[in-house]
Structure 1
């Protein structure tokens, strides 16, 4: 069920020096939704995620997280993040899958703390949820790009966040594993009640799983449910840069 907003942007503007990157963004991400953010290169998609994560500050406007002004929000463990790890990960990194996933508990249990038995069980549970239980003791560098991204998903969900933010996580992942990756996200959303906010260029795969679509090109040109987006795109014969035209 779609409930209250978990992320809300009100008239958000952002500039890099004198360049206006985002202009007057009003966006509400409902609880339990899977919102896909699409748009051409340079449209401000990744910048929007950085603003939500607090890595950047808007020059105008306000951001609310779980109904609270971002500046007052202290429960960062409620928000997980996955970036383009699979495309740039150092395959020589010696950590095991278990160790990488366990590092996702740092904000919850503190730095340099030993894992308790219940923490270890949570790590194994997260690994099982992404379908990699037989790889728990394998070095992460030995895994494929698609498997590595599943590890980073497990790392992001091990602390049981309410929101998972993903920035083009399928870069460098082959088409077969992209489809599997999206199905995994939908499964996690339904099983754990996680709200998903994701930037992606895999528009067709995204439309099969997302509940809502936001089309961004410095301004928010469209936001609505996926069925509505498909209808609008077909009716207007949208042909966005970087995507297949209808």
Structure 2
């Protein structure tokens, strides 16, 4: 693995008991890239994320983060993760947007440390980066699903990770705000230089926002630049997914 790669997955296979979920998956993500990971339900995307985050250990293959084998990787502050939280968040949770975002610094600084001006500024910058400044004093339970997801992304980026992994972040986001949400991710990638790995079912958005695509259905069927993925025919995509697929664009 080169120093220019944020993530490398090398011949990874995983199975639950007798069921193969991932079979000989290999791909890499260059630093500064925006990778869209797509595939049908049950294709192994969530299992792959758990392997990348060190929560599961593959039966075969290796995973490297910034050139270091995951078994030896200790610098987890360099990696941020956002799950499908908004869809199941407890709306009665008594915390403001500022407090939720600031909690993203506790792993790095310790639970009971007082924040300095530098750390308070980092919280403000993270909130501003996701477009939530005017809501920073508001209780997070009063926000919409999409706004909550923006807050969770701010929490993930407040410690300035180099790699941000997002697992279906638009679950619970109103369809009318999905495009703005993807625009925000594009801004984080282009202007803050964060390497992004986005797991999504939204194939249409993939070719408009990301730089690279990986198409997974147990095997890796495609890995390359977004422009190459956009040139694939509908029949090719349907073969990947195992059923007919109609790609929609969000551009108006």
Q: Same fold (TM over 0.5)?
A: yes
For residue 238 of structure 1, what is the aligned residue in structure 2? 237
Partner Cα distance (1:136, 1:209) in 2: 27
**TM-aligned CA deviation for residue 206 of structure 1:** 2.5
For residue 93 of structure 2, what is the aligned residue in structure 1? 93
SS at match of 1:238: helix
**Residues 35, 212 of structure 1: 8 Å contact kept:** yes
**Residues 130, 153 of structure 1: 8 Å contact kept:** yes
Partner Cα distance (2:166, 2:244) in 1: 19
Describe how 1:144-223 pairs up with structure 2 within 5 A: 144-223=144-223
Partner Cα distance (1:47, 1:123) in 2: 31
**Residues 37, 216 of structure 2: 8 Å contact kept:** yes
TM-score w.r.t. length of structure 1: 0.95
**Structure 1 unmatched runs, 5+:** none
**Structure 2 unmatched runs, 5+:** none
For residue 8 of structure 1, what is the aligned residue in structure 2? 8
**TM-aligned CA deviation for residue 244 of structure 1:** 2.2
SS at match of 1:227: helix
**TM-aligned CA deviation for residue 130 of structure 1:** 0.8
Q: 1:206 to 1:245 in 2, by over 3 A?
A: closer
**Residues 50, 56 of structure 1: 8 Å contact kept:** yes
Q: 1:242 to 1:210 in 2, by over 3 A?
A: farther
**TM-aligned CA deviation for residue 245 of structure 1:** 4.8
**Residues 206, 226 of structure 2: 8 Å contact kept:** no
- Show structure 1 runs of 4+ deviating over 2 A: 236-246
SS at match of 1:107: helix
SS at match of 1:147: helix
**Residues 6, 30 of structure 2: 8 Å contact kept:** yes
Partner Cα distance (2:247, 2:170) in 1: 21
Partner Cα distance (1:174, 1:203) in 2: 17
**TM-aligned CA deviation for residue 213 of structure 1:** 0.8
**Residues 238, 245 of structure 1: 8 Å contact kept:** no
Partner Cα distance (1:17, 1:195) in 2: 33
SS at match of 1:232: coil
Matched, 1:58 2:74: no
**TM-aligned CA deviation for residue 61 of structure 1:** 0.6
**TM-aligned CA deviation for residue 112 of structure 1:** 2.2
For residue 79 of structure 1, what is the aligned residue in structure 2? 79
Partner Cα distance (2:247, 2:181) in 1: 24
Aligned length: 243
SS at match of 2:205: helix
**TM-aligned CA deviation for residue 242 of structure 1:** 8.3
SS at match of 2:74: coil
Describe the superposition over 1:2-43 as per-residue Cα deviations: whole angstroms up to 9, x where unpaired: x81110011101111111100001111111111001111100
Partner Cα distance (2:196, 2:69) in 1: 20
Q: 1:17 to 1:112 in 2, by over 3 A?
A: farther
